[in-house]
Structure formats: C-alpha cells, structure tokens
Amino acid sequence: MTLSSSNTLSRWPTDRLLLWLLRGAAAIAGAIVLLIVAFLVMEALPVLRHVGVARFFTDPSWHPAEGFYNLTPMLWGTLFAMVGSVLIATPLGILSAVFCHYYAPPVVARPYRRLIELLAGIPSVVYGFWGLVVLVPLIGAIHPPGPSLLAGIVILTIMILPTIALMADAGLANVPQQYLRGAAALGLPRWATIRGVVFPAAKSGLFTGVILETGRAIGETMAILMVCGNVVQTPHSLFDPIRTLTANIALEMAYAVGDHRAALFVSGLVLMGMIAALVAAADWISHGRIYG
Amino acid sequence: MIRCHALFMLKKYAAPVALSMASLMCVPPSAGAQGTAADQLTGKLVITGASTLAPLIAEIGKRFESLYPKVRIDVQSGGSSRGVADARQGLADIGMVSRAMKEDERDLSAFPVARDGVCPILHQENPVQALADEQIVAIYTGTITNWKAVGGTDAPITVVNKAEGRSTLEVFLHYFKLKNVDVKAQVVIGDNEQGVKTVAGNRNAIGYVSIGTAEYDATHGVPIKLLPIGGVAASTESVRNGAFPLSRPLHLVTRTPPVELAKAFIEYAQSRAVHDLIKQQYFVPLAD
C-alpha cells in the first residue's frame, strides 16, 4: 500500500505544523549563510570599488595604513598551516579510531574514547596559551625565533585530531556487522578486513571527518594568533613566522577604520571563498555523495 | 546611545566596566541638590577624533549617561586631525586629540584627560640594561640582529612588533621616526598582554607595550624588564609628569571655552571618578 506524503500530512494537523516548523528552521539556516556573505560583500565593497580586486593580490605588502593591501602571503600562510595539520591529523585520527574499534580491549577503548572527547572540548585559547608558553620556547631553542608555521601546524594538528578521530570512530561504528562476519567467515586477517572491507564501507564517514577537520583548521583563530608570530610573509621554511587570514582579522579589527576595516572584510570574504572551494572540491571528489 | 566602533565593545574589560556601571546605577544620584543638577543636564554631545581615545571616551560617556539619563553622547573615531577639524568647524562639540597640541592650534581650548606611554621591554634575564635610541632603531629595522652587537649574549634578536592600527605602534613609530614598512619583525602581536607573554617566554625578544601593562606585570612576577628611554626610567610616574619621552598627552578640545553640558563632561572626564576606566585602557591618569 502506498500513501502519498501529502495525503498523510493533510490528515494530521500536527504533522503539517511540524513540516512548516522544519521548513522554517531550514530557511533560517540557509538564510544565515547568505546574510553573512551579503554582509561581507557590503562591508568590503567600498575598498573593492576604489582599490580594486587585483591590488589585494599584486600590492608589494600588507600595510593597510599606508595603502598596501596584499593578501597573498596570508593566503599561503592559511593554506600551509591547514594542509600541514590535515596531512598529519588525518592518518593519526583514522588509525586512532581503528585502534579503538578493532584492536583495543574494551577496558582501554572506553576511557580512550572519553579522553579524545575531552580533547575535542578544550577551548582553543587554552591550546594557544599552552603553545605560547611551552611549544614556542621549545621551537625557539631549536631554531629561533620560535613562533612559526611549525608551531601553528602542531597546535592545529592537536586541535583537529579529535574531530577526525571521533568522526572516523562514528564512521567505523556504522559499518554493518554482517560485513565483518562475512570477512571473518572468509578467514581474512584483521588488518585485511579493515583495509579491504571496513575502509571502503566507511568511506563517506571518513571523508566527512576530513572535511570537518579541514574547515576547523582554516577557521581556527585564537590559538594560531598566539603561536604563529603573525608576520605577513610567505614562509620559506617551517620555522618562519606566518599570519593567517583569520589571525589578520582578529589582530587588526579593534582599531581598524575606513579602508583598513573594509580590507579586513575582504580577508573574511577570501576565507569564505576558501571554504566554498573546499566544499565544492569535496563534492566533486565524492561525486556529490559526501554524506550518502 | 553611544555610537562608537562596535568592536570596542568586545574588549575583555567589558565585564568589570559593566559591573562598575551596574553598581553606579543601583545608586541613582538623585538625592538633594545633586538631583536638580542631574535633571538640568540634557542634550546630545558629539565627540569625534583620535581612535586611540575613542574607546576610553566611549566608556566615560557610558558612565556619564548613566549619571545623567537625559544626556546622549555620540563618539566617532577618525583620527586626531579630524578631532581638530570637527571641533573647529563646529561639526563636533568636543574633539579628541591623541598628541600634544601644535602651535597653530592655540585657538582651541585643550583639556588633557590622560597620558599614553610606551616602553620597550626585554626578558628579565637579558643582560642588556639600556639601549640607545639609535640601537633600538637599528634593531627594529634589521641592521642589528644579534644581541652581541649591543652588549648582550651571542643570540639572535627576536623583534616583536604591534599589529597595524594600534596606538602603541603609532607612538613608537612616531618617536623613533620609523615607518611600519621598514620594520623587520619576527613576531607581530595584538594587545599588550600578548606582547608581555611573548617577551616573557623568549629570552632573546624585544618588544614594546603600554607602560601601564608592563609595570603591572613586572611587579607581579612576570619575568620582563622595562627599558629606560633617553636615561629616563619607564614608569607610570615618569609618564604622568611628562618626563618619559615615549609618551603623549591625550586631549579633549573645544572651539570656545566649554559651557554647560560640554563643560560638565570634560570636568567629569578629568575627575578621579574615571581613573579606573583610564587604567583599564592602559593609559596613565593625570595627577589631580
């Protein structure tokens, strides 16, 4: 028997109410993103209009008070820090989830999972503070000055590790038990089961985790601001200080006026563009089935 | 309504300010003669000028409004020169100027409300006790990159600079006649506390912060030391009496000698009642 959905709904007024509530909630969620983008564009427009888009990529430096607005060094800084931390955190996080699911005895697995959850809950400013007083002097002893791209990557890795570890954990938990039993019946060893059966089955969950951690790595501000040194330059080594786009906004917003302020909104717009590109790339790689 | 840069409201001292304002509002100043004075003060003050002063004046304005509910104070920032121009043309009732008054500005009535002082800081264990102005310039422009060249240990110097737009940066660059483009920094920081922590965590760093913050932290066990400039020790006292060279007065200016509301506000801004606000913004209150 098939009932069309509109028939079901028309019979139950509460269902219709729920439908409209859900529609409203969805509309709000969508509208917020659009509003933010519209706001960013509006605030950035004055400087875009009389400075031009090109100068944000061709000016000799970022000195907004003197009229130079080059954002590219910060774009590179953001990208390097993001790529570095994602490259380290992803295998670590996935392997941690595999350990938790298939190797660790339950006595270890449960507290271990709680620990990872705790790691996810620590505020970013705490990581930043720890980085500033422990990590930065440590790196400074090896290769001065200390605040550097490396410090940023390490801090970001620690921060996004729980995201990917927990997402991978949830992904692995969703792998149907039959698959595992089937693999066991075929006599596959544990690692072969994980590699050949579990990973393909949990692919979308793992992929979602990578997208979420990358988003967090791009958006992180406070911790990065405290450990990266914030010098506007394209880094030539891991020990060079960098400034990310997010740190740029946080550092300068408080006293920025006029074009300087509008230029910071352009930073925000560029960040938004990066995130959009990330989502589009993820969609393209997974052929539109990220969450499926 | 205070119409000021919205981001000023995000400052971390918002909480203590809110608390002190709440305590003020619990005790409405409506007793006896004072009450009639409060009722008389009505109207709107437009204050424009230096972005250094704007957050402080906005906070003072908020407190003033809570004392005199019929008064509205509108604070807009746009630089000291705008403060002077607006006060002259009557576009603003009061202008904010974050420097000493110039010769050709004698036509305006100027009222100092606080002083702003900046001093270089080093790690406590750095053997360097003082640096000449030229040495500081050489360090900040990257001509001197090792402490050995200025009588310290053989270690590379970590130069800590401020982010663009900060008033401390402005004072520093102005005194040393530097341009921010010429500064070769290894670390760029935002607020004063971050500067203190960066220097405290790095033996080979040199930075500069507001004297108020540096003095507070140095006397509370943070391993930093304040460097003298031109032989004058860095302290809030030497800033207050104007002896410290790396400092500047913060003025409110009016076209004509102020009357009524403007007079009341300027007197309030100069009074002891706002010293806590001045210190919260890392400025130095004047002796009264």
Q: Verify whether the Cβ–Cβ distance A255 to B197 is below 8 Å.
A: no
Of B7 and B85, the one with more pLDDT? B85
B228: in domain:
yes
Residue among B187, B191, B194, B196 with most chain A CBs within 10 A, to mutate = B187
Q: Which residues of chain B lie closer than 8 angstroms to A137, CB-CB?
A: 201-202
CA dihedral for A85, A86, A88, A93, sign (positive or negative): positive
Rounded to 5 degrees, what angle do the CA atoms A52, A56, A57 make? 120
Contacts of A255 in chain B (CB under 8 A): 51, 165-167
Q: Tell me how many degrees the CA angle B268-B273-B274 measures, rounded to the nearest 5.
A: 80
- Check whether A73 has a pLDDT greater than 90: yes
Cβ neighbors of A283 (< 8 A, separation 6 or more) are: A290
- Strands B109-123 and B224-226 turn out to be antiparallel
Give yes or no: residues B128 and B191 share one domain: yes
Dump pLDDT digits (tens) for A75-88.
999 999 999 999 99
Nearest Cα of chain B lies from the Cα of A141 at a distance, in angstroms, of 9
Residue A253: band (very low, low, confident or very high) from pLDDT cuts 50, 70, 90:
confident
The residue-averaged pLDDT of B207-215 equals 88
Q: From the CA of A226, how many Å to the nearest CA of chain B?
A: 8
- The answer as to whether A60 is a domain residue is no
A266, amino acid identity = V
Q: Which of B168, B186, B193, B194 is the best mutation test for A, with the most CBs of A within 10 A? A: B186
For B76, phi then psi, to 5°, come to -130, 135
Residues whose CB falls within 8 Å of the CB of residue A253, separated by 6 or more in sequence, listed in order: A261, A264, B7
Q: Token pair 């970013």 is at which residue? A: A124
Do B109 and B120 belong together in one domain? no
Residue A250 distance to chain B (closest CA, Å)? 8
Does B82 lie in the same domain as B167? no
- Do residue B189 and residue A230 have CB atoms under 8 angstroms apart? yes
Q: What is the mean pLDDT of chain A?
A: 88
B191 and B219 within one domain: yes
CB contact under 8 A, A65 and B180: yes
pLDDT of residue A291: 57
Query: What is the C-alpha to C-alpha distance for residues B99 and B180, in angstroms, rounded to an integer?
Result: 19
Phi, psi of A4 (to 5 degrees): -70, 150
CATH code for position B121: 3.40.190.10
pLDDT in tens, B4-49: 443 333 433 444 444 444 444 444 444 333 444 555 778 899 999 8
Separation between Cα atoms, residue B12 and residue A225, nearest integer Å: 16
Asked whether residue B245 is assigned to any structural domain, the reply reads no
Is residue B38 included in any domain, yes or no? yes
pLDDT at position A83 is 95
Q: What pLDDT is stored for residue B281 in this prediction?
A: 83
How many independent structural domains does chain A possess? 1
The answer to whether position A249 is within a domain reads: yes
Q: Which domain CATH number covers A254? A: 1.10.3720.10
Same-domain check for residues B124 and B223 = yes
CA distance B278 to A3: 71
Q: Which of A255, A257, A267 to mutate to probe the B interface, most B CBs <10 Å?
A: A255
B247-254 and B94-97 strand pairing: antiparallel
Quote the pLDDT of residue B28. Answer: 41
Q: In this complex, do A254 and B190 lie within 8 Å of one another by their Cβ atoms?
A: yes
**Shortest Cα distance from A270 to chain B (angstroms)?**
20
Whether B49 is covered by a domain: the verdict is yes
In a domain, A134, yes or no: yes
- Please state the ipTM of this predicted complex: 0.74
B51 and B79: one domain? yes
Say if the Cβ atoms of B186 and A241 lie within 8 Å.
yes
DSSP-derived 3-state class of residue A56 = helix
Higher pLDDT, A256 or A34: A34
Contacts of B162 in chain A (CB under 8 A): none
Q: How far apart are the first and last CA of chain B?
A: 30
B162 in any annotated domain: yes
**Residue A290 pLDDT:** 57
Average of per-residue pLDDT values in chain B: 82
Residue in B11, B78, B188 closest to A257 by CB = B78
**pLDDT at B25 (0 to 100):** 43
**Residue A147 domain flag:** yes
Mean of pLDDT values over B223-238: 90
Strands B43-49 and A62-63 come out as unpaired
Opening angle at CA A175, ends A170 and A176, nearest 5: 135
Report CB contact under 8 Å: A255, B78: no
Question: Which residue range forms the structural domain that includes residue B93?
Answer: 3-115+250-285
Taking CB atoms and an 8 Å cut-off, how many pairs form between chains A and B? 93
Interface of B with A (CB under 8 A): 5, 7-8, 10-11, 51, 77-79, 155-156, 158, 163-167, 179-181, 185-190, 194, 197-198, 201-202, 204-205
Nearest CA in chain B to A129: B197
pLDDT in tens, A202-231: 988 898 899 889 999 998 998 999 899 899
Residue located via tokens 């709680």: A114
* One domain for residues B209 and B264: no
A100-152 pLDDT per residue, tens: 988 989 899 999 999 999 988 898 889 988 998 899 889 888 887 788 999 99
Question: Sorting pLDDT into bands at 50, 70 and 90, what band is A260?
Answer: confident
> Based on the domain organization, do B33 and B109 belong to the same domain?
yes
Distance (Å, whole) CA B112 – CA A233: 40
Distances B282 to B116, B117, B188, B276, B278 between C-alpha atoms, Å = 8, 9, 19, 10, 7
What is the pLDDT at residue A51? 86
Considering its fold, how many domains does chain B have in total?
A: 2
pLDDT for B34 equals 42
Q: Which is nearest to A85 in space by CA: A242, A287, A283?
A: A242
Residue that the structure tokens 């590109």 belong to: A277
- Clarify whether residues B122 and B39 are in a common domain: no
Identify whether residues B69 and B123 lie together within a single domain.
no
Half-sphere exposure of B146 (CA within 13 A, CB side): 5
Q: Give the distance from residue B283's alpha carbon to the nearest chain A alpha carbon, in angstroms.
A: 16
The pTM of the full predicted model, rounded to 2 decimals, is 0.75
User: What is the distance between the alpha carbons of residues B83 and B253, in angstroms, rounded to a whole number?
Assistant: 8
Cα A151 to Cα A155: distance, rounded to the nearest angstrom: 6
Containing structural domain, residue A172: 76-261
Together in a domain, B78 and B138? no
How many angstroms separate the CA of residue A195 from the nearest CA in chain B? 45
Mean pLDDT of B115-122: 91
* Contact yes or no for A171/A204 (Cβ under 8 A): yes
